[in-house]
Chain A
Amino acid sequence: MAEAAHIEVRDLTMAYGDFVVQTGIEFSVKQGDVFVIMGGNGCGKTTLMRALIGLQRPAAGTVRYDGEDFWSVAPEDQERMKRRLGIMFQGGALWSSLTLAENVALPLAEYTGLPPGRIAEIVSFKLALVGLAGFEDFYPSELSGGMKKRAGLARAMALDPDILIIDEPSSGLDPLTARRLDDLILELRDSLGATIIVISHDLASILAIGSDSIYLDADTHTMIPTGNPQQALLHGDPRVRHFLTRGAA
């Protein structure tokens, strides 16, 4: 893969008008990490993701990719930085007027200049990786929710990004498909050296794949650094253990 990805978030505040969703968010992600952002419903996980991927300007703070502050550079530099990111949205966010193959091919056609034959091979391989070999000509409306999600991951991987940001990978999937997706995420990290940020509240998935994590608290609107989720489950902050044990601890 290309240069080492390194993400650093400092003193970030996310707000909608006067309503502060989260404040004082600080974390850094090393290359090859599977970094999990966890928290209950409405705690601001997706809002934080939108700040990381350039969809929503934070009220304060910085998001640095390899030392370059995303929100203070020129728009063309932001575009260049965005191309390093592969993003899988919660519901897949596939373009409904395009087939699966066209969905995955679009970023390749836009940014690589590869001949159509090569693009078709890459598209088929990416779809096969997420278990959707043979579904190239299907439209998103013909797929189940879980298939859309997996196709969304195939599209996110289209350009071999060195940072993958994945919103709720396993919610809405059956346990076996969820496990397969978790395995794929780890595989992408191990094989391609990708850095992965996962936004999730799925406990099994968090514990299976997370190497580092933060917990966003919806009540205090602040974060708790939690480190390795497995360790957090045993020795973490009581609020985090309460979350990770489904209220048992």
Chain B
Amino acid sequence: MTKAVESSAAGEAGQKLETRRVDDGLLVALSGRWCLDQTLPSREIVERELSAVVRRLTFDATALADWDSGLLTFLAGVLKACAARGVAVDQDGLPEGIRRLLSMAFAVPEQKVALRAAAGQSLLARVGAATLDLIRGAPAMLGFLGEITLSFLRLSSGRARFRASDMWLEIEQVGPRTLPIVSVISFLVGLILAYLGADQLKLVGAQIFIADLVAIGMVREVGALMTGIIIAGRTGAAFAAQLGTMQVNEEIDALRTLGIPPVDFLVLPRMLALMLMVPLLTLYSGFVGMLAGLLVSITIFDISFFEYYNETLRALELKHFWVGLSKGTVYGAMVAFAGCLRGMQCGRSAEAVGEAATSAVVTAILLITIAASVMTIVYYQLDI
């Protein structure tokens, strides 16, 4: 005996879905145009019909006109629903092209992968994870510091393997090419210092001491700090991006396979370049800052050139230069360390390179600030 239950749904452009129940079978009739640019009938209509009675699903696509991924995804959903309910599917009624594409889509079983850590973790869990990351990052940082130390030892015994031309190239990048930005920033900072000092010193009629403030401030502290921060943003990020890209291109792996320590070949020249050039840039920065102070004093506060010059000479002692130079050297090393560390730790994607560059700047500025505080306290205690 044949019992038929029919239902149908039609879309806007003549595409039509009809289901007809015949005994334990369900016939799905598709007609019209089934393309993504139209609203297509939902497969839930078919799924609703897949009750316990239905054992077999067949198709009738004789009236089917045009179709694309819209129909394919509809059918893929129907096939999955049938598989889940143990309903046998006879695809003979479908056009051959559709049958073949469906069989390709189901040829490779779905990869069951462990679910990723849910994005919506609690705040506490995220803080915990971030703290653990930080703690786990410390040994890596120390390990890298150790590698650099070994590399310097090899350098001192003449066994470090790097190309001097690389170092000169970096020196050119860090030195002459950084002069314009260091000039502008140092001049403006010198100017700010002079104004700031003048504002306070005029209360006691001691504006001549603008020269002392600017000279000692620029040479000891501000010149090195400004240069360090400029270099962190300009060169530290560049180092991380360069080494990160080399990591992505497997260039660093290639060095390792040749037995060339990447720290020697890539990190050492960059480290040396910064440790040589940042102190020089610090000196230059101090000089430009003093020029700005001179300009402000002469034009705004009626201090003559010779008064300012003599006061500067009186205020500056050799130890101030040594302090500035030592800080410049340390900051240069910090920037090179942070840039190279983040570059060498970089993942293997374009996004990872961006993260490495950002992280290099943040790490460098953090290290510079810590080093600046420690050195200032130490020099004060030693009365330098």
Contact = CB atoms under 8 A, between A and B. Distances in A.
A135 interface: yes
A122 B104 contact: no
B13 interface: no
Nearest to B36: A112
A125 B72 contact: yes
Contacts of A134: 110-113
B116 A137 contact: yes
Contact of A160 (B68, B97, B110): B68
B36 A125 contact: no
B100 interface: yes
B350 A128 contact: no
Which 4 pairs of residues, A with B, have the shortest CB-CB distance? A191-B97, A134-B111, A96-B349, A141-B349
B305 interface: no
A96 B111 contact: no
B175 interface: no
B351 A191 contact: no
Contacts of A122: 36, 69, 73
Interface string A190-224: 11100000000000000000000000000000000
Interface in B219-236: none
Given A129-B104, A140-B349, A187-B97, 4 more contacts: A138-B113, A191-B97, A191-B101, A192-B97
Contacts of A141: 347-349, 351-352
A128 B352 contact: no
Interface in B270-322: none
Interface in B101-133: 101, 104-113, 116
B98 A191 contact: yes
Interface of B: 36-37, 66, 68-69, 72-73, 76-77, 96-98, 100-101, 104-113, 116, 347-352
Contact of B68 (A1, A114, A129, A131): A1
Contacts of B106: 128
Contacts of B347: 141
B349 A114 contact: no
A184 interface: yes
Contacts of B98: 191
B113 A125 contact: no
Interface in A125-164: 125-126, 128-129, 131-135, 137-141, 160
Contact of B108 (A96, A114, A128): A128
A80 interface: no
B100 A128 contact: no
B1 to A, nearest CB: 38
Interface string A31-43: 0000000000000
Contact of B69 (A132, A139, A160, A187): A160
Given A192-B68, A192-B97, A125 B349 contact: no
B109 A133 contact: yes
Contact of A121 (B66, B77, B113, B350): B77
A225 B348 CA distance: 41
Nearest to A190: B97
A121 B100 contact: no
A129 B107 CA distance: 8
Contacts of B76: 121, 124-125, 128
B297 to A, nearest CB: 52
A191 B105 CA distance: 13
Interface in A96-121: 96-97, 112, 114, 118, 121
Greatest chain B CB density within 10 A among A118, A139, A190 is at A118
B300 to A, nearest CB: 51
A237 interface: no
A184 B104 contact: yes
A133 B111 contact: yes
Contacts of B73: 118, 121-122, 124-125
Contact of A139 (B66, B100, B105, B349): B349
Contacts of B116: 137
Given A118-B73, A191-B100, A131 B108 contact: yes
B100 A96 contact: no
Contacts of B101: 129, 187, 191-192
Contacts of B352: 96, 141
B5 to A, nearest CB: 27
B349 to A, nearest CB: 4
5 contacts: A96-B349, A122-B73, A131-B107, A134-B113, A191-B100
A183 interface: yes
A1 B36 CA distance: 11
Contact of B105 (A112, A125, A138, A192): A125
A135 B111 contact: yes
B69 A126 contact: yes
